[in-house]
Structure 1
Amino acid sequence: MSGFFRSRRSVWGRPARDLEIRYEGERLDDLLHENHGVSSVVLRPAAGREHLEIERVRRANKGWLGEWEATVPPGSSASVPTWEEFPRLMDRKQAGGEALSMMVVVDGEIAGLISVGAVERGAMHLGVLGYWIAEAHAGKGITSLAVASTIDMVLSQLDLHRIEINVRPENEPSLGLARKLKLREEGYKPRYMHINGRWADHVGFAVDQEDLRQMPGGSLVEHRVRRGGKH
């Protein structure tokens, strides 16, 4: 998709280009702690057929990611969109503030996805954040930087009050990421989500606007990622 048409898309009532986050040069070196030859990390809302490109990267990393992927339980009435329907559905949800898909682009290559879904307005004003990174880019600090950046943006600019993250207890890298970011650990959730073909337990974490305001600079990136975490 051309930059012209991408920039004209609306995401959560804002031009998509306004939600792009870019790290380069010395700033990136500082945030990654130990640069592995990475020269740029860009996060921006996916649009159009970019959703399919992200899915192709995810499928190419199935051996790395498959153990942790959500699945539809048997007998569910939920409908799964076709590949042709999926980009339009996601763009519509993003335009309406129902979901957010921030693609992670490392040195011009799609490397992962930070997503916000299950968005509730009204009295709740929350969303649930999920993430994955391609195996080739794991362990460089990119994931924690991308997660923290997205949380900062959603809580500070997009007016959600609370973000939740739920992690399988066996997923030690993701548990480590949530704890290094000092997200609030809220408890154990038995059989919380259908993962890789079965109902799986999760550990719940959360962060809200009040937490963010108490951090130096009012930013999870400034407060935590700069100081540690190489996931």
Structure 2
Amino acid sequence: MPFDTALTDDVTLRELTKDDAVAIAHAYMRNREHLAPWDPARPEAFYTEEWHKERLWAQVLENSTGRALHTVLESDGEIVGCLNLTDIVRGAFENGHVGYWLDSRFTGRGLMTRAIEALVVHARDELGLHRLQAVTLPHNEASQAVLTRIGFERIGFAPSYLEIAGEWQDHVMFQLILHR
């Protein structure tokens, strides 16, 4: 059964579908400047409908195989954010990586906190994961506040961890143990 939950009266968190390519492209176009400091450098083609139409199927496939859970936040038919659980590893690890972004018009309302809380419950109760991890840039205090509010603990510092905004940047590492 696809993952789908209401966050507020007007915002829903739901599993990504193959029909979301155009709406995702529009969301990235609207938020290009807002996301630029937090995202990898993107080719110009990334901001087109064609790019997302050609590549969205890979994320939908990852969802269907259990290797990931790509979701979107939707309001009035418009995508206003993404919340992804990727790199799911089974066996002795039972771990996944959490990544997310929110439309600039929707920040500061607690939406991502509620979305991640719903994802945590799903990851624990439905997917049977033991641990979630997330990373943030050291100066991304808003993202760190979301994670700590939910119960993620800081577990380390990773120098030159990801190439963000065209530069290899340090990241703060967080984890949430789902089964104690």
With normalisation by structure 1, the TM-score equals 0.69
1:177–1:103: structure 2 CA closer, same or farther, 3 Å change rule?
same
Query: 1:62-141, aligned counterparts within 5 Å?
Result: 62-71=32-41, 82-141=51-110
Query: 1:208-223, aligned counterparts within 5 Å?
Result: 208-210=177-179
Percentage of identical aligned residues: 26
Query: 1:192-231, aligned counterparts within 5 Å?
Result: 192-210=161-179
Quote how far apart the aligned CAs of 1:49 are: 2.7
Q: How many residues align?
A: 173
- Structure 2 runs not aligned, ≥5 long: 43-50
Which amino acid in structure 2 is aligned with residue 179 of structure 1? T
SS of residue matched to 1:210: coil
With normalisation by structure 2, the TM-score equals 0.87
Which amino acid in structure 2 is aligned with residue 164 of structure 1? Q
Q: Distance between the aligned counterparts of 2:146 and 2:108, measured in 1?
A: 11
Q: Distance between the aligned counterparts of 1:61 and 1:84, measured in 2?
A: 18
Residue 44 (structure 1) aligns with? 14
Is the 2:21–2:53 contact (alpha carbons within 8 Å) kept by the matching residues of 1? no
Q: Distance between the aligned counterparts of 2:99 and 2:87, measured in 1?
A: 11
1:51–1:128: structure 2 CA closer, same or farther, 3 Å change rule?
farther
Q: Distance between the aligned counterparts of 1:143 and 1:83, measured in 2?
A: 23
SS of residue matched to 2:146: helix
| Structure 1 or 2: more strand by fraction | 2
SS of residue matched to 1:185: strand
1:177 aligned onto 2:135: no
* Structure exhibiting the larger radius of gyration computed from Cα positions: 1
